[in-house]
Amino acid sequence: MSRSGKLAAVSILALFALQLAWRLWLAPPTQAAPWMMALYFSLPILPAVVLVLLRHRRAGFWGALAALLYFCHGVMLAWSAPEVRGLALAETLLSAVLVLSASWDGMRARFAGRRAGKPAV
């Protein structure tokens, strides 16, 4: 596994852990059961977590797909909820790192051909 693949795997696990910690301990919801909200917010990244644990090569793709949702959620909360702004910015940062690291090898392969004089597909 490449360095970017390892970074994607770590980002997937960190984003999953952030969702659980956020809803269970750091800022539990007051109008719903914390365990229910933790489960609800962890569901989008859960398939990628399973794939990371199985060392599947598509874990980064599925994690990056879920990270797009988390990125939007983090940006929205960073603007609208000052009491959880730090957690929202952490969610946004982890999501951005995950998307970039999951796509890094593909971008590098695509643009390596341009540097070698090959036409882009």
Q: Is residue 117 part of a domain?
A: no
Is 34 a domain residue? yes
Residue 106 in domain: yes
How many domains are contained in the chain? 1
Closest CA to 19 of 98, 78, 74, 64: 74
Flag whether 61 is in a domain: yes
Separation CA 81–CA 92 (nearest Å): 14
Per-residue pLDDT of the chain (121 residues; tens, 9 = 90+): 899 999 999 999 999 999 999 999 999 999 999 999 999 999 999 999 999 999 999 999 999 999 999 999 999 999 999 999 999 999 999 999 999 999 999 899 888 876 666 665 5
Question: Residue 31's domain spans which residues?
Answer: 3-112
Domain membership of residue 68 (yes or no) is yes
| 78 found inside a domain | yes
CA distance 17 to 70: 13
The reported pTM is 0.90
- Domain-located, residue 120: no
Which residue shows structure tokens 């990371």? 52
121 lies in some domain: no
